[in-house]
Amino acid sequence: MDSVNNGFGNASGMTRSMEGATGGTLPPGLTEEEAEELKLELSKVEDEIQTLRQVLSAKERHAGDIKRQLGISPLNEIKQNISKGWQDVQSSNAYLTASATLDDISRSDAYKKTQETLSQAGQMTSAALSTMGTAISQKIGTMRSSPSFRSLEERMGGLRK
């Protein structure tokens, strides 16, 4: 048999490996004639598989050539696939159910109360931090005018020169 081996084996290789696997003895209930027929059938099927692989490969190359002629790049294909996938997700039952559930939650009283409470807490925190920043600035201003700070500043200034 003159089949191309694409890393998937060929008919003669498979037949030889079957003989080795059976150790030369036939499985129970199988005559030698039946075994030969099965080996022949296996050989034909494997040849057909190899032929189909070659045809598929040629078709894939041809499709690639056509896409190049049409200006369809792999990146465009990926974009189209992602877009189609996202549309499929958005129209799926799971997405629609989750979306409806989230809408229901956002309209609930508990959600509105939580949102209001968190908003107030954020405003209060912001006000507290602003007040603290003002107090720190005032304290630093007071410290700068103190005699000890001036003395320290004069010493540090002397080191720079």
Domain that holds residue 159: 110-161
Inside any domain, residue 63:
no
The total domain count for the chain is: 1
DSSP letter, residue 26: P
CA distance 47 to 6: 12
Inside any domain, residue 144:
yes
Inside any domain, residue 158:
yes
Inside any domain, residue 147:
yes
CA distance 66 to 48: 27
For 149-161, letters b (16+ CB in 10 Å) and e give eeeeeeeeeeeee
pLDDT tens track, the chain, 161 positions? 444 444 444 444 444 444 444 456 888 888 999 999 999 999 999 999 999 999 999 999 999 999 989 988 888 889 989 999 999 999 999 999 999 999 999 899 999 999 999 999 999 999 999 999 999 999 888 888 888 888 888 888 765 55
The number of angstroms, rounded, from the C-alpha of 157 to the middle of its chain's C-alpha atoms is: 59
Inside any domain, residue 28:
no
Inside any domain, residue 152:
yes
Whole-number mean pLDDT of the chain? Answer: 84
Inside any domain, residue 136:
yes
Inside any domain, residue 42:
no
pTM for the full predicted model = 0.39
